[in-house]
Chains A and B, each alone.
Chain A
Amino acid sequence: MSVAVAVPERVVRRRVDAERGLRGALLGLFALFLWVFLAWPMAQIVWRSLHDNRGAFIGLGNYVRYVSTPAIGVSITNSLGVASVAMAVTVALAFVYAYALTRARIAGRGLFRLVAMLPIFAPSLVSAIAFVYAFGNNGIVTRQTGFNVGIYGAKGIVLAEVFYCFPHAMLILMAALAAADARLYDAAAALGASRVKTFMTVTLPGVKYGLMSACFVVFTLVITDFGVPKVVGGKFSVMATEIYNQVIGQQNFTMGATVSVVLLIPAALACVIDRIVQRRQYALVSSSARPLAPGQGRLTNALLFGYCALVAAAILGIYAVIVGASLVTRWPYNFAPTLKHYRFDTIGGYTPLLNSVGVAALTAVVGTVITFAGAYLVEKSRTAAAGVLYMLALLPVAVPGMVLGLAYIFVFNAAGSVLNRLYGTLAILVISNLIHYFTVPFLTATTSLKQMDAEFENVSASLGVPFYRTFWRVTVPIALPSIVGISMYFFLNAMVTLSAVVFLVAPGTELAAVAVLLLDDAGESAQATAMSVLIIGIGLLARLVYWALLRGVTRRTQAWTTATQEPTSTA
């Protein structure tokens, strides 16, 4: 003890064996993937925004022009305004709905939940099209009542976005409301607090992080959404449509890049704050909490039931309009039933839909493999390099689809680049979906890996079993429910996404969601609704398959997960 021996800073390096080499190589591949398809394109878009269209460096010139030109600069305030209002309305509506489903004993809760989930299965612009059919200049409501709400513009965007974002907010709020601790309510009752007081002092503080999280998620969804403002925005310009107009309309790529970088700021900010808030929410629920049994007064129950019925009816109404419009000859003049809109004669039939299903399936398979394997490699090799990859994997959630799509044009449509070969292929669509929706599956995989015993790999190594064998025989089977969930997430999102791929589709690689947009743009809105119906149908079918798969997985793994535990001291 008395002899002070200096301990070197560096560790004795392990000899590199085949396994270690393989691990390093795979991690390198993952890094390359994130570099080529995420970091490099994002760097490109920032770089381009600092140049003019002839390629000369002009510093912040584009930014100055963006904010000082009223015609395009107004898109910033428009975006922020619409996103804020839609956020407030959506969260307020979804809160009451979620409260009714978690805290009250009302009939048909399962059905209400299911109906509220429907908007997730449709591209965002579908709700906008439905609103046009109902409240547009020739909408059915407008014609029946003779009152024109003036759907085109901010009002229409907010309405359609509320509908589109409702399920996202509801899911977050339901999770927050379900995590209540009954002991707090008992204490409030024992202290003689009134119902209102209990709500203000116990319920609201308990879900404040959930509320904040729902706000950020809705805000991000709205400000980055392209489909809704494209359809009902009219002359009201928001940032997402401005990017499209600059790039597609005016071929002004550098201004498109400039708007993109500006759009990144609020989206990224909202994501960062949301992540911080979410971490707090977990800490709020103590492990000794007692779940709260739902129950309210009779009048409250009746009111909440009425509210839920109203909201659910509105959502179903929107879908009824879409399905109805797709099945009649000419809405709203000729209601004779027909299937002719399902022939898609102006876009050459079913190619876009088949492409979409193919792209979605490929995204699901490849995405699941890459996110899970990537999360595994990052989680199991605790090096500084792996930490950088982890941060990089969190980035896509903050990147709006329009921005990613434009960045891909810069990288994959550049003359003389090897990556150019990808342009105009289905592969680029799959890759853009992978990156666009990368973060959530990556975090899901990381969470399920963290729940496993960290010594599995060490035990295997001591037994002389290579890590990839243990990955396949132990890690993957244990994580199977998460893996199935990840693939479903990729599939559903790839089916309905519009924003990134709108820049990347080419003749022969059209996608269904883009077809909806183009058909609507071309005045073929009946065919647009028909395509929407098919997208929704496929989404619901996929959901059903997913549900069956999960049941199968659960049954197979039941033997070892829900096995009757004999009393032991080990938790």
Chain B
Amino acid sequence: MADPRPPAVALEGVAKRFGGVIALRDVSLTVAEGEFVCFLGPSGCGKTTLLRIVAGLEPQNAGLVRMAGRDVSRLPPSQRNYGIVFQSYALFPNLTVARNVAYGLETRRLGRAGVEARVDALLDLVHLRPHKQRYPAQLSGGEQQRVALARALAPSPSLLLLDEPLSALDARVRLALRHEMKALQRRLGITTIMVTHDQEEALTMADRIVVMNHGVVEQIGTPADIYTEPSSLFVARFVGHMNLLPATAVQPGRARVGALTLRHRPAPGVGPGMAVTLGIRPEEVRVGAAARDLDNRLTARVTSVQFQGAFTRLGLRGLGDGGVALECDVAATALADLGVKEGAEVPVALAPDALRAFVEPPGTHA
């Protein structure tokens, strides 16, 4: 579906260096209006720098930043029309919650009553109206975060930027806020870019994820795309959990792992004799009765059984010298039927359409 409107944010060939260190290299991407996009990557990958370039807080060395078609590359932050929430929240400690939220409204011609009404509406939105007259130090971390969000949204910006907004919070608060923020974003329909190093956060909240590493974009796609079709070994490792097996390509769609020859998904660019890495997610490994009659079958010994709540993770090792090591997730309901314990020998199948092949040998991005 072609959208005639220009994207809310478009980056073209953005690059950044800090002295001799190149932080970003030729980054291009677009964010559609109303979309929630996550910049995901390990620390030092350049995701925060990229966000700060969008915000105009950091000057880029090359490239264009467009917002709704307008070139803002050389505009100061105040003329870019966005709201931002920092990891530290940066709430003004000497102002009450209400004054913090009103901060960006006071310079606009709204009138006292107008400001008051807007502040109340925003505090209702984040369920903090009863705390209106408190100071930030009197609020919990999660509450402070919501005040920062309300303050950023108050002047009705067309873009919301979130710099690791949840990483300073307790695990439980973080989970609750994830849903709350996502719901709020949906309701307001505001274009949002969030920086995070937490892949779970990105998978649950984003419409699209931009996976970054060493200053370049590794992959852009929906959470499902990124999870099921990682375009590189780095993405496969960084998002979710994946068994990786060093292998040698034999012929198109077939690779040898030790003594085994396994069929895998077709992978372009793989030629016979090349070193490849085969990858399969733990929940895709079939074990026990489910493995029977399937392709790519082997027999393995159960080396460990780790109870993880909703599922159990089995450690497996293929029989014979140099047998492959695998991890396999079995749903709690299926585990009882399987009836395995440490030391048991089980049939295992690596379904060919779940087995991906990556050209890089393992360890490239270690």
Identify the closest chain B residue to A458 (Cβ): B57
CB-based A-B contact count at 8 angstroms: 145
B132 at the interface (CB under 8 A from A): no
Residues of A within 8 A of B142 (CB): 568
- CB <8 Å contact, B104 and A8: no
Residues of A within 8 A of B56 (CB): 14, 461
Docked Cα-Cα span, A560 to B97, in Å, equals 11
CB distance from A450 to the nearest CB of B (A): 14
Q: Which of A40-48, A78-86, A199-207, A470-478 interfaces with chain B?
A: A470-478
Residues of B within 8 A of A463 (CB): 83, 103-104, 151-152, 154-155
Within 8 A of B (CB), among A93-118: none
B169 at the interface (CB under 8 A from A): yes
- CB <8 Å contact, A464 and B84: no
A10 at the interface (CB under 8 A from B): yes
Residues of A within 8 A of B251 (CB): none
Residues of A within 8 A of B155 (CB): 463-464
- CB <8 Å contact, A15 and B75: yes
- CB <8 Å contact, B90 and A7: no
B95 at the interface (CB under 8 A from A): yes
**Cβ proximity bits B95-131 to A, threshold 8 Å, 1 near / 0 not:** 1000000011011100000000000000000000000
- CB <8 Å contact, A7 and B61: yes
Docked Cα-Cα span, A20 to B154, in Å, equals 25
Identify the closest chain B residue to A3 (Cβ): B26
A interface residues, tally (CB under 8 Å)? 44
**Cβ proximity bits A8-40 to B, threshold 8 Å, 1 near / 0 not:** 111111110101100000000000000000000
Known contacts A17-B79, A560-B137, A566-B139; is-contact A7 B25 (Cβ 8 Å): yes
Identify the closest chain A residue to B173 (Cβ): A569
- CB <8 Å contact, A5 and B25: yes
CB distance from B169 to the nearest CB of A (A): 6
Docked Cα-Cα span, A465 to B23, in Å, equals 29
Known contacts A462-B55, A473-B95, A474-B92; is-contact A568 B141 (Cβ 8 Å): yes
| Selected contact of A569 from candidates B24, B83, B92, B141, CB within 8 Å | B141
- CB <8 Å contact, B59 and A14: yes
A-B contacts, 14 listed (Cβ < 8 Å): A1-B216, A9-B17, A12-B61, A12-B62, A14-B76, A15-B75, A17-B76, A20-B76, A453-B88, A456-B92, A463-B104, A464-B104, A474-B92, A563-B135
Which B residues are within 8 Å of any A CB, using their own CB? 13, 15-17, 22, 24-26, 55-57, 59-63, 73-80, 82-84, 86, 88, 90, 92-95, 103-104, 106-108, 135-142, 144, 151-152, 154-155, 157, 161, 168-170, 173, 214, 216, 218
Known pairs A7-B17, A459-B151, A566-B139 / 10 extra A-B pairs, C-beta < 8 Å: A7-B16, A15-B74, A15-B76, A19-B78, A456-B92, A461-B76, A462-B55, A463-B103, A563-B138, A568-B141
Which A residues are within 8 Å of any B CB, using their own CB? 1, 3, 5, 7-15, 17, 19-20, 453, 455-456, 458-466, 469, 473-474, 477-478, 557, 559-561, 563-570
